[in-house]
Amino acid sequence: MNKLFFQDKLVFLIYFVIVASYGYYIYRKKKKAVTGTHDFFLAEGSLTWWAIGASLIASNISAEQFIGMSGNGYSIGVAVAAYEWIAAIALIIVAVWFIPVYLKNKIFTMPQFLKERYNETVALIMAIFWLFLYVFVNLTSILYLGALAINNLTGGDASQFHYIIIGLSIFAVVITLGGMKVIGFTDVIQVAVLIIGGFATIYVALTVVSKAFGYGESVVEGFNQLLKNAPDHFHMMFEKPGPNSTPQQVTNYLTIPGLLSYAAGIWIINLNYWGCNQYITQRALGADLQTARKGILFAGFLKLLMPIIVMLPGIAAYVLHQKGMLQQEMLVNSKDGTVVADNAYSSVLTFLPHGLIGLSLAALTAAIVASLAGKANSISTIFTLDVYKKYINREADEKKMVWVGRVTILVAIIVSIMLTWSDTLGIGGAGGFTFIQKYTGFISPGVFAMFILGMFWKRTTGAAAVAGVIVGFALSVVFNEFAPQWFGHDTLFYTAYQTVENGKVVWEIPFHICMGLAFMFTMIVMILMSLAGPKINPKAFVLDKEMFKVKPGTLAMIVVTLLIISLLYVRFW
């Protein structure tokens, strides 16, 4: 564990002062944010493309990536980078095809999309669902995992855990109350700190690996030693397990089931998250089409860097541990004397000199605070525009709604503090990443089917949309929890594998395959129901080819991103 010295505290203080000062400067400069709802919630017309891109990444990267993805890097390697690299392609799809639909129809919230395309019933159901999900799952888990990660980084003293919770909450509230403009522009600094701190960490990790094998302080040689000593950690595709496969090989396949992962599951996760999620799309909904597109594509480019920052430290920890180092560090919080993979990132940080520890703390704090602020703003936006204005006070003026939005932010943060204080929801026991996936992954197939058909198939009906959400959720539960027992371990649609979960031997279908199957059958149900309706639904959006044309500069950004991803997959296939 690390103890903060004066240099670390000074670096962190400088980071805090810069972010707070810049946020206040933006707030004072953009005084209009006090009274304009579209300005407060969406920063309409104010965010530049680079601010949109940076804000998307700052909101996306948080403690679960730093801790969870580094842990996956330790246990399975570069294959986990698929989430980030496929996200870059998903962002291209969102920029070219999704955003034009939203902007042309003046969509500001996801419930509004559902109301305009389907009906108020669908919109209200999903607005309430998203509010509960964002407050009780996302906001709470980000705060809990963030406080836990910072507490571990700064010494692991249980007595300071609650102070960290309060400190993160206050920091996030100060930024969020300034509106989306303050969030968007301060996120630029947050991402800069995140990237600089992340690269500083991996630089030190690689030099430590290089020294451990007798090659001096060489980043290049450190990376070469990772390739040499952990070759199994540098393959994107896992083979289907056989009778002689090890438990780790089965676990790897359950996490990323080879090519089948790319058939549907990982696309559903990414397209639903980046294209149908208020928390994310909100950054681009206040801009014009070209600015929004450039910002989203810039975020896609930044996603290519994220595995270096959050996954490589895990592989470095694995190689060092195999070398006989980090033996005690990887056992922290272990209940049975086995390695805890999620300790990988904090273990690597023990090698940082003082000053850089403060920078890494600032990077982690930046990721957590940006995610908290973004999520709180989305909660405020949905409640104010889709619940309060429509069902509680239809006569509310702009100033009143901004005030309600700010009160909503405070209430959401207070609720999350109460739930986090004693880990009421059991996030720590379930594991943070598992907790988030458990409650968001089940709904993704139905929500994504509802959005994709609503955008691009004019025949889709409101009844089909409601059925899609219900069927998608039900099928996700069936495939994840009951299918192996009900239908057998090896069928035409899936193969289940034996694994150990909470000390019990269970049969499990890879999560990505479950999502793909749930999505496929949900689409079939929605299409069959919609075929019984009119050929063109009266509420269908009007689309034209001009909406989806891209300018040469935008096309160049897309081509460069795709070329880089192609090279990465060729190298690490």
Half-sphere exposure of 3 (CA within 13 A, CB side): 1
Q: Identify the three-state secondary structure at position 506.
A: strand
**4-18, 176-190, 209-223, 230-244: the lowest-pLDDT one:** 176-190
Task: Give the mean model confidence (pLDDT) for residues 226-234.
Answer: 91
Give the model's confidence band at 190: pLDDT under 50 very low, under 70 low, under 90 confident, else very high: confident
* pLDDT of the residue at 40: 67
Asked whether residue 275 carries a pLDDT value surpassing 70, the answer given is yes
* pLDDT of the residue at 432: 53
Answer yes or no: is 451 within a domain: no
Contact 277, 436 (CB under 8 A): no
* pLDDT of the residue at 405: 87
Q: What percent of the chain has pLDDT over 90?
A: 27
Q: Tell me the pLDDT of the chain averaged across its residues.
A: 84
Task: Give the mean model confidence (pLDDT) for residues 115-136.
Answer: 88
Number of domains in the chain: 1
Asked whether residue 24 carries a pLDDT value surpassing 80, the answer given is no
Provide the residue range defining the domain that includes 349: 6-441+543-572
Asked whether residue 390 carries a pLDDT value surpassing 50, the answer given is yes
Q: What end-to-end distance do the CA atoms of the chain give, in Å?
A: 36
Give the model's confidence band at 38: pLDDT under 50 very low, under 70 low, under 90 confident, else very high: low
Distances, alpha carbon 178 to alpha carbons 18, 46, 377, in Å: 16, 14, 10
Backbone φ and ψ for 175, nearest 5 degrees, come out as: -70, -45
Q: How far apart are CA 173 and CA 167, in angstroms?
A: 10
Enter the tokens of residue 436.
């988030």
Q: How far apart are CA 294 and CA 285, in angstroms?
A: 13
Q: Which amino acid is at 513?
A: I
Task: Give the mean model confidence (pLDDT) for residues 137-150.
Answer: 82
Q: How far apart are CA 424 and CA 76, in angstroms?
A: 31
- Other beta carbons less than 10 A from residue 105's beta carbon: 15
Higher-pLDDT residue of 45, 294: 294
Task: Give the mean model confidence (pLDDT) for residues 288-296.
Answer: 92
Give the model's confidence band at 108: pLDDT under 50 very low, under 70 low, under 90 confident, else very high: confident
Answer yes or no: is 515 within a domain: no
Give the model's confidence band at 438: pLDDT under 50 very low, under 70 low, under 90 confident, else very high: low
Answer yes or no: is 163 within a domain: yes
Contact 57, 184 (CB under 8 A): no
Asked whether residue 520 carries a pLDDT value surpassing 90, the answer given is yes
Smallest Cα–Cα separation from 312: which of 170, 468, 157, 202? 202
* pLDDT of the residue at 294: 93
Give the model's confidence band at 290: pLDDT under 50 very low, under 70 low, under 90 confident, else very high: very high
301-325 pLDDT per residue, tens: 999 988 888 889 999 999 998 988 8
Task: Give the mean model confidence (pLDDT) for residues 498-502.
Answer: 75
Asked whether residue 207 carries a pLDDT value surpassing 90, the answer given is yes
Asked whether residue 273 carries a pLDDT value surpassing 70, the answer given is yes
Asked whether residue 292 carries a pLDDT value surpassing 70, the answer given is yes
* pLDDT of the residue at 87: 92
Task: Give the mean model confidence (pLDDT) for residues 165-181.
Answer: 81
Concatenated DSSP letters for 376-419?
Answer: HHHHHHHIIIIIIIIII-TT--HHHHHHHHHHHHHHHHHHHHHH
Asked whether residue 126 carries a pLDDT value surpassing 80, the answer given is yes
Task: Give the mean model confidence (pLDDT) for residues 159-179.
Answer: 83
39-80 pLDDT per residue, tens: 666 655 567 888 888 888 877 877 777 777 888 888 888 888
Backbone φ and ψ for 502, nearest 5 degrees, come out as: 55, 40
Q: How far apart are CA 94 and CA 53, in angstroms?
A: 13
**45-59, 79-93, 204-218, 422-436: the lowest-pLDDT one:** 422-436
Of these ranges, 8-22, 111-125, 380-394, 555-569, the one predicted with the greatest mean pLDDT is 555-569
Backbone φ and ψ for 507, nearest 5 degrees, come out as: -100, 130
Contacts of residue 358, Cβ cutoff 8 Å, sequence gap at least 6:
4, 7, 8, 9, 10, 11, 12
DSSP H or E stretch at residue 505: strand 504-508
- Other beta carbons less than 10 A from residue 227's beta carbon: 12
Q: Identify the three-state secondary structure at position 106.
A: coil
Give the model's confidence band at 33: pLDDT under 50 very low, under 70 low, under 90 confident, else very high: very low
Contact 487, 441 (CB under 8 A): no
Answer yes or no: is 278 within a domain: yes
* pLDDT of the residue at 142: 84
Answer yes or no: is 488 within a domain: no
Enter the tokens of residue 290.
């070209």
The residues pairing with 498 across neighbouring beta strands, listed in sequence order, are: 507
* pLDDT of the residue at 279: 76
Answer yes or no: is 530 within a domain: no
* Opening angle at CA 116, ends 112 and 117, nearest 5: 115
Higher-pLDDT residue of 49, 184: 49
* pLDDT of the residue at 155: 67
Higher-pLDDT residue of 284, 295: 295
* pLDDT of the residue at 17: 85
- Other beta carbons less than 10 A from residue 2's beta carbon: 19
* pLDDT of the residue at 34: 46
Answer yes or no: is 219 within a domain: yes
Give the model's confidence band at 2: pLDDT under 50 very low, under 70 low, under 90 confident, else very high: low
- State the chain's maximal CA–CA distance in angstroms: 72
* pLDDT of the residue at 251: 83
Concatenated DSSP letters for 251-298?
Answer: HHHHHS-HHHIIIIIHHHHHHHHHHS-HHHHTTTTTS-HHHHHHHHHH
User: What is the dihedral sign for C-alpha 437, 438, 441, 443?
Assistant: negative
Asked whether residue 527 carries a pLDDT value surpassing 90, the answer given is yes
Asked whether residue 330 carries a pLDDT value surpassing 90, the answer given is no
Asked whether residue 36 carries a pLDDT value surpassing 60, the answer given is no
Answer yes or no: is 476 within a domain: no
- CATH number assigned to the domain comprising residue 145: 1.20.1730.10
Contact 420, 143 (CB under 8 A): yes
